[in-house]
Amino acid sequence: MVFELNTGATIPAVGLGTWKSLPGDVAYNTAMTAIKAGLRVLINIVPLPSVIDNNEKEIGRAIKDCGVPRGELFITTKLWNTCHRPELVVKAFKGLLD
């Protein structure tokens, strides 16, 4: 099952939520296995500032190493409700992209 976006592109209805994957080999291997199994949507969440161990680096490394062209993957994220104030949004996402 897929959903059509307003751009005409389609996005698969099922993806892998990576938020609680443990950092290190667990997050990397989970993402790599999911991509190799055919999943094309990876869902992460912008962590709270107090969260120290995030898995963004491992997920990014799996995306780089998997051999699937980046244009075939949908990387999505969510923002904590406590970070919706305008002055916090950019800061939260910059932390994720670093």
End-to-end CA distance of the chain: 33
pLDDT given at position 98 = 59
pLDDT given at position 36 = 96
What is the pTM assigned to this prediction?
0.77
Q: Tell the burial category of 82 from Cβ atoms under 10 Å away from its Cβ (0-12, 13-18, 19+).
A: exposed
pLDDT given at position 47 = 62
Per-domain boundaries in the chain: 2-97
pLDDT tens digits, 30-71? 999 999 999 999 988 766 555 545 788 899 999 999 999 999
pLDDT given at position 3 = 96
